Structure 1
């Protein structure tokens, strides 16, 4: 089962998309880790903390920055939700920068504590979801790779429908949530309408609790073509899940137009449950990538209405290759059985499956839904199925 909530006021700029997640009791010792980011002097945001347990949960909310840390005590009654202003907390802490870290610790029932972070700027019409990661101290240290498949580069893809002349400024916010330095290797794979390429990024070790902004516009000086629209980024490090957290942002100078891409370390042979939405005001781009060492045969199925099914032809993905299906949705190209999406089919869910490797799999996925009226590009996440993900 898949569930999501879209919080918006029709006819207004700001909206938020929340995916539902299950509670995992085995997550018994750890914290929730995130990044705060206030790109403009008028930007604000909230950390939303909910207690799903039937008893009170105590803990701490910690903001970090170059100047140090600022902690407040938490006491959440059963099923209570608290909302904390990021701008207020940053000002009380005396932080001067525009980014830093967020940690939520719980003394017990950490798996029942849900944390969400939203950003907004009413004057600019900006809104964003900042993904929050689980950091489980019980897991063994090993090599992990975070992947973000849909990072918008300086020249926007025409499907985003931004005004002519819009220039995005892509960056990656990366934070070391561990108490020791972290070495990370970063690889950027870009694509333009005609070609693809890759760049390694040199990254000096991140100090404990350091939050760093990686400016991807510098790649233009290294030969990145001006017409490159998209990139996927892989960040590999040694540690535990949640020791390193990252979020990719691509916005213009006003933050009015832009897109986010969440990082994940999950891989699976099947992803299902995500939402697609196509109508005169909205568009959808779905991407799946192969992180394995051998080719993967991938099938993507769209579901709509009560029983509608649209099956795209299977495609072989080489390691590192991606598959975009947004144009197939927009143009109503017949599926492998000759069916087309009817004009009144405007939204539904989808499933991505590796037909060769049905035991573990090495697929990852990404999706954005664009709002042509207001310039939003909202990401959403499907759920990995059956045997769980791997890092």
Structure 2
């Protein structure tokens, strides 16, 4: 049982972590910089034939898009909702909506609006927080995503979309016939037979599809949090290596199986099906670590940051960072090109360098009166690889970055509370 003192410590920590997962925010920003980004003309424009508003996107995604075009609309009380496109795999669903006629973006905040999608008879999935992009003051593009680990989506059927905007007295529901045969059959699967004895996890299977990669695991039922006698929390992260590139897979929650066994998942948007299927050297690397339950070790002290503002690359970041637990790292170079940012980083050992490289995120700096979220694509398009010119260095690559926005690089404050790291045995999955 968790003692009373530890419960007081764990409560706020797990509460913060739950909020970050629920809101799609994985990292806290290391800096508060309200720099105004310069806006350049868009290079790519998608225009609806029935509206003058356009959605501008001057970035390029590293994932091949298997979405199907739908373009079905419904209008009520001056608000027009269009189902632009949709994509489904066996366990994931993504739908893009276009909402026109908005006069006040605050009128469709979370507490007075509802956006729901469902598909098939075995849709037991949960919705993530939708991502938003504003084309103008009256037009919003909304991306809804859903994970369904307990069921499977069918290849074809009716997709149900419901939009409720209470401030506009809008209640729109649409049934859309869809055929996802192509995307659902794009799946690469590998069985894994390996355990992480320190935390009693058994890795089961790797599944890679057109929306990313997932590794499933099981752990015994009624298992308490992994906390030792020194109030230190034991946890893990998974790195997937495909040829020379590394990808971090984050824990996405768990469920209870029929026998009471806990079933959990690590997942990431990268790499997706085509990358994994064509990979010649695939392996899984577990990273185990201990995190002190002391708030002072987990939450970094902002007054001790050594910040650098790189005007050439329009980036702000912490060039050197350390903690009382022994962490010592540096960002020794940064490159920013049209749609990508490369961050060169390292620690004082190979393992520490891996930990640092897998815990760097990016966010766009807040601009006054800007409606768009400052989170860079919820940090979905990140990979990293060895720096061939530095024995301990890694290069973290952020794809699909808006080249015209000022941004900040963040070092996860959680890793500054990590007291020990341990790399598990590399698990080879190649044919």
TM-score category, normalised to shorter length: under 0.3
Return the index of the structure with the highest Cα Rg.
2
Larger helix fraction of residues:
2
Using structure 1 for the length normalisation, give the TM-score.
Answer: 0.28
What TM-score do you get using the length of structure 2 for normalisation?
A: 0.26
